[in-house]
Structure 1
Amino acid sequence: MRRRHMIWLSAGVAGVVLAGVPLVAFAGAAPVAGLQALSAVFLANLDDDANACRTKARTIAAAAVGREEAADERFQEAKDKLELESEFLALRRSHRIEQNQADRQLAACNDAADTVVNGAADELDLTRLRVGAWPDAPADATATLTTTGKVRLFVKRAGWQVASTLGPADLRRGVQLGLEGTDVVRDRTVWDGGATVTLRVTAGGRTTSSLVRLKEAPVLTQLNTAKLQRVLTTDASDDSGRKWRDETAEVLPEGVPLTRIDTGGDEWMQDLFEPAYQVMPGPDGKPHGQRVLVPTVNDLHRQAARITYTELRGPDVAVVHVPGVPVAGIDDMNTYDSMGNLETMPPTPGHPHGTIVVGNTPSREILTFFRSQGAQQIVTVDTGWLTIGHVDEFIQFLPYAGGWRAIVADPTAGLALLSKAPGTQKLHGGLPTLEWPYDGRIDQRTIAEFRADKQFVDTNRIAAARIAANVGKLGLTPDRIVRVPVLFTARSLDWAIEKTAAEELPAGPARDKAMAALNAMRQGVAETPNVVNGLVVNAGRYVAPTPYGPLVNGRDLFADATSAALNQIGYQVTFVDDLISAHVSEGEIHCSTNTFRAYP
């Protein structure tokens, strides 16, 4: 038996082996050219190169609103009649399936949903294979093509057709094949992304075969260190929100748009989806890929996250629906499944595609999805000390001098800065005129009052300890870290609600107990607008919320300390005011934006 191995490997995907093994010769004839592949890697062809899905998606999403509101009412009525926890879990699961009906319909529209190659752009998404020419193929020569895995195979004749059989004319001249994935890897115990293509040729009553093995490209989360290409944000309904977005747009590089999208009132663009990508070698040997947007499974953001289908899916932009399954003991309303709670630490030795960082207990379906790609480690850190509980509240990653740095919130530095201003001064300096209810949401006590508040000091002490532990778990060495002052408070929106309820109780043991519980709260939210929760524009520019720290000689101590820290690594900081539009709702600029960045 004669063998020839023709191997083209993707440099970005380890552990993939491809061999094109030619057919053995038929007796008395020249060897038959075998099946060859130009790449060992293929894409899940889930984008929409012809822009055929967007109008349909908008119709589906709009129709779902009323239906889902009615389903929520039925769920509440049914829930109130249940007695057993097991019954409640079953109800939650059936309700979630019902509420995700639109998501399943939206995801079903994509380029792999049909048996057509949808134009030249879709053709680029095919991994190319070839059946070599067999000029002496006899008139009775035929071939069959079969596949395993979640793939579809095309053959190019006058146009692309689904490949199943080849005739003698095809075999004599040789034919080009194209392979597309019809889904992503979701759970590697179900499908690990492997696929085979087998060619079986029959002539003169004899059959022989040739086979190639391929692997689907992993879905990799986007890196902040990559070049910024587009900023996405919500369509702000207030003047304050529009103003900081306008100011951010002014400092973006030429050619980088800031796109405002109507999310139906959901402010938190970062939480709606995680930008990721797949890449493979293209027909010309250059990398070719697509974005893969992964919407949150958090039910609070369900309808808003559908902008991934109605506004963003298109040429080289795919969307993957990962359904979350409710489990006992975990509240559907927690925020750990918001994508602001999933960040990616840039490459480190042994982790060339970066490390996914999540806080506390995101949906196991999301974790299974990313683990099943087999390309990025997932590290879980403690975000339970935060009221919202998102990773982006205390750490962010920035490109720096061919590598990267981590900007990390430093409550200890924040407390130390308070000693540099008179105690009689209000902690928040330079505030604009605040009307109700914002005058009550911004804590306008003096520095001395804050420093004397055991709850406030304890909250920051705990925050500092938990941040240090998380930084250690990520293996960040001091040379990687840029520390910036941020102060946290237990006086969150939840605290304010509990305080109102406690104060409405009549004097007595119940009120005393409620007030004691209020004073015992230590989960934190940012007291000073959180400069870690900003926008990385590109190397050299960072957009941060105006921190409104104490003023000394007219200068904001927190803003100056942040600028000085980032200036040391060559960054210029642009401060914008998100106090009313985001901060008072316990988010900041990073929460209100998302980005498309370049991928390899």
Structure 2
Amino acid sequence: MSRLLLTGAVAAGLLGSALPAGAVGGPVAALHGDHLTGGSVLFLANLDDDAGRCRAKARTVAKDAVAQEAAYDDAFYQRKEELEKEPDKEKAERLYQELVRTYQRQKNVADRTMAACNDAADAVVNGAQDAKDLARVRTAPWVGAPAGATGRITVSTDHVRVFVKRTSGWSPSTVLTADEVRHGVELGIEGRDIVRDAAAWDGTATLKLVVSGNGSSATGALALKEAPVLTQLNTQRVQKVFAGAAGDSDKVGAAWRKQVDKVVKQTGVPGGVQLLDQGDDSWTQDLFEPAYMSIPGPGGKPQGMKVLLGSVNDSRRVGSRVIFTDLAGADVAGVHVEHVPVPEENDSYDSMGNLETIPPTPGHPVGRIVIGGDGFEHGKTGPAPEMVTLLKSQGMQDPLALDTSWLTVGHVDEFLQFVVVPGSRWGWKALVADPAAGLELLRGVQKSGHGGEIMHGGLPELEWPYDLRIDQRSTSEFLADQQFVETNERAAAKIQANVEVLKAQAGLTDADLVRVPSLFTAKSMDYGMLETEISQLEDGPEKDQAIAKLHAMRDAVAEIPGAVNGLVLNGGRYVAPKPYGPVVDGQDVFATAIGKALGGIGYQVTYADDLTSEHVSEGEIHCATNTLRDSLSTRWWN
């Protein structure tokens, strides 16, 4: 507990009559206590819901939003049609952009409403659990304070609220009586929101105590600092695993969830996989990024809460509401970050599968964030500046930009993952997708005389449309396909360029990497749609140009279900999507090679079949799951 003390000449003048009325001198603030670090008292943004008041309200808000947002949609498209008829095209474009901004704000009304319900939303301490989230400060007793002595507590910003502990409970009134001045009082400090933009508010504040008596006054001051929001690490133990419920017709999706549930329970995670009601959005990883916020509590033990950062991807907007309807509550805060899309942006970069965190390295003791895209100085394409600014403003994890523009989906987790490796240089290593190694495996299959066999060995019986979505050519036909080979060569070069960024800016070396064989293809869903369009065109220059565009495509998605895009669990367990690689002598050569790569760092791999559920929709096991980890045991302030 920190103590606000008045000492020196001013205090002497108040305690007796040594100084004439009105005398002033220099105040001195003496600090000590559990919440003190770096010269400031740390406090939390008190955004969880310890009393459990908000979840039912959030579900009502989300339900009611369906009809309201449909009305917004109708009004938007009607006005858009009107603007398309406007003869002044410059005026029409200006009005259209205003319309888009208004429309987006309207669609986020429900999210703002849900996020506004939390423990800091009112001037009330909501029970004993909520009180634990208050940073504590105590004023020093002035035993000889005269009958007319008074005190007043002030704080320098509206971002911070102060409570006084009285016999009636925690009070937002910060005027102290003479008796309170004599005995000293305990104060509770809470932040009303996280730091979102350090240029607007950097999380600092000054707490002041002004004590008056005998015609004199003195001031004591304490520096306050809000705890940063830090993203969790794969090196932290798993506490919970989430996934969206599989659709009624998705038997493959239901099966792998059941399989993963069994493995999760084997690793000591109670409850197994918790299924969330995400509506039509199956990509649990993309909906929110788990983070945490903590301060030193009694005895130095961390006191804090999980912080779930909702995606600003507009396509994820409805699914992301699960952080309020299913997850926010005691010691779990939900945060809504608003972003108005701009023309030509790639909102896929704003899905949270595109955010990973490098575990601790020298200079970054709580890890460093990596975000994919085409750079932070991106103009119109993404990722959203609001989210990048929020993450940078925490001042601890220094977000690093990686290039994911070469991928159709564009997410970091398609080629990069971090895993605990005890005894290694830093206690962890990076899994990196290796398409060059994947091509070498195919060439080895061909040399062994199995090139004429189907590359995706062991496929189940495929019904439409999966018989079209799964490429059933032979290994030799894949290797003879210039587009396929060049897509993988390009992917290998792009991945290596990202590795060089990690080496230069995060200090990684080749010894910190585990190369995992992979294969990519340009035949994404976008490819399939263009191919369908071409089939409907008449022969001629337009069709020829479309065919040339099709053959020139090199942006990549996983051909072999991507092992790097898997689930890291406790105890050296890892769940990877079943690769369905070439089968030689009864063994899947990719499963063998992947198992060897991960087995070399002490991991036991479980292969889960997501081929006709997540994989054909251009995601994998990691994309469709999320975790909460033991982040609150981290003493980041050390």
- Give TM-score, length-normalised by structure 2: 0.89
Query: What amino acid does structure 1 have at the position aligned with 2:118?
Result: N
Query: Within the alignment, does 1:250 sit opposite 2:262 as a pair?
Result: yes
Gaps spanning 5+ residues in structure 2: where?
Answer: 19-26, 36-40, 374-381
Spell out the pairing of 1:400-549 with structure 2 (5 A cutoff): 400-401=421-422, 403-421=427-445, 422-475=450-503, 476-549=508-581
What does residue 63 of structure 1 align with? Answer: 64
Deviation at 1:34, TM superposition (A): 6.6
Query: What amino acid does structure 2 have at the position aligned with 1:377?
Result: D
Structure 2 distance, partners of 1:526, 1:441, is 12
Structure 1 distance, partners of 2:341, 2:608, is 39
**8 Å CA contact retained: 1:37, 1:130:** no
Post-superposition Cα deviations, 1:512-546, rounded to whole Å, max 9, x if no partner, equal 11111111111110001010100000241100000
Deviation at 1:594, TM superposition (A): 0.5
Post-superposition Cα deviations, 1:160-187, rounded to whole Å, max 9, x if no partner, equal 1114210111112211111000111011
Structure 2 distance, partners of 1:135, 1:118, is 32
What does residue 50 of structure 2 align with? Answer: 49
Query: What amino acid does structure 1 have at the position aligned with 2:557?
Result: V
Deviation at 1:328, TM superposition (A): 4.4
In structure 2, relative to structure 1, the CA distance for the partners of 1:195 and 1:37 (3 Å cut) is: farther
Higher mean C-alpha displacement, 22-31 vs 587-596: 22-31
Query: What amino acid does structure 2 have at the position aligned with 1:241?
Result: G
Query: What amino acid does structure 1 have at the position aligned with 2:553?
Result: M
In structure 2, relative to structure 1, the CA distance for the partners of 1:112 and 1:447 (3 Å cut) is: same
Deviation at 1:37, TM superposition (A): 5.9
Query: What amino acid does structure 1 have at the position aligned with 2:325?
Result: T
Higher mean C-alpha displacement, 260-269 vs 74-83: 74-83
Q: Number of aligned residue pairs: give it.
A: 583
Select the residue among 181, 192, 204 that pairs with 1:194.
204
Structure 2 distance, partners of 1:303, 1:22, is 56
Higher mean C-alpha displacement, 65-74 vs 580-589: 65-74
Select the residue among 282, 285, 289 that pairs with 2:304.
289
Secondary structure in structure 2 of the residue aligned to 1:277: strand
Post-superposition Cα deviations, 1:217-236, rounded to whole Å, max 9, x if no partner, equal 00001111101000010011
Deviation at 1:35, TM superposition (A): 7.3
What does residue 593 of structure 1 align with? Answer: 625
Deviation at 1:139, TM superposition (A): 0.6
Deviation at 1:284, TM superposition (A): 3.3
What RMSD over aligned residues (CA atoms) do the two structures have, in Å? Answer: 1.7
Secondary structure in structure 1 of the residue aligned to 2:298: coil
Query: Within the alignment, does 1:174 sit opposite 2:198 as a pair?
Result: no
What does residue 320 of structure 2 align with? Answer: 305
Post-superposition Cα deviations, 1:533-566, rounded to whole Å, max 9, x if no partner, equal 0000024110000000000111000011000001
Structure 1 distance, partners of 2:414, 2:310, is 20
In structure 2, relative to structure 1, the CA distance for the partners of 1:142 and 1:73 (3 Å cut) is: same
- Give TM-score, length-normalised by structure 1: 0.94
**8 Å CA contact retained: 1:50, 1:118:** yes
In structure 2, relative to structure 1, the CA distance for the partners of 1:240 and 1:432 (3 Å cut) is: same
Secondary structure in structure 2 of the residue aligned to 1:336: helix
Structure 2 distance, partners of 1:195, 1:550, is 62
Structure 2 distance, partners of 1:7, 1:151, is 17
Deviation at 1:329, TM superposition (A): 4.0
Structure 1 distance, partners of 2:240, 2:541, is 56
In structure 2, relative to structure 1, the CA distance for the partners of 1:285 and 1:163 (3 Å cut) is: farther
Structure 2 distance, partners of 1:353, 1:440, is 45
Query: What amino acid does structure 2 have at the position aligned with 1:428?
Result: H
Structure 1 distance, partners of 2:179, 2:14, is 20
Deviation at 1:298, TM superposition (A): 0.6
Select the residue among 107, 119, 127 that pairs with 1:111.
119
Deviation at 1:7, TM superposition (A): 7.2
**8 Å CA contact retained: 1:534, 1:590:** yes
Higher mean C-alpha displacement, 408-417 vs 61-70: 61-70
What does residue 126 of structure 1 align with? Answer: 134
Query: What amino acid does structure 2 have at the position aligned with 1:342?
Result: L
Query: Within the alignment, does 1:384 sit opposite 2:413 as a pair?
Result: no
**8 Å CA contact retained: 2:402, 2:498:** yes
Deviation at 1:365, TM superposition (A): 0.2
Spell out the pairing of 1:86-165 with structure 2 (5 A cutoff): 86-149=94-157, 150-158=159-167, 159-165=169-175
What does residue 335 of structure 2 align with? Answer: 320
Deviation at 1:308, TM superposition (A): 0.3
Post-superposition Cα deviations, 1:448-493, rounded to whole Å, max 9, x if no partner, equal 1110111101100000000000011011311111111110001001
Query: What amino acid does structure 2 have at the position aligned with 1:78?
Result: R
In structure 2, relative to structure 1, the CA distance for the partners of 1:28 and 1:340 (3 Å cut) is: closer
Runs of 4+ residues over 4 Å off in structure 1: 30-37
Query: Within the alignment, does 1:344 sit opposite 2:357 as a pair?
Result: yes
Deviation at 1:323, TM superposition (A): 0.6
What does residue 23 of structure 2 align with? Answer: none
**8 Å CA contact retained: 2:14, 2:213:** no
Structure 1 distance, partners of 2:367, 2:571, is 18
**8 Å CA contact retained: 2:289, 2:311:** yes
**8 Å CA contact retained: 1:399, 1:538:** no
Query: What amino acid does structure 2 have at the position aligned with 1:143?
Result: G
In structure 2, relative to structure 1, the CA distance for the partners of 1:35 and 1:452 (3 Å cut) is: same
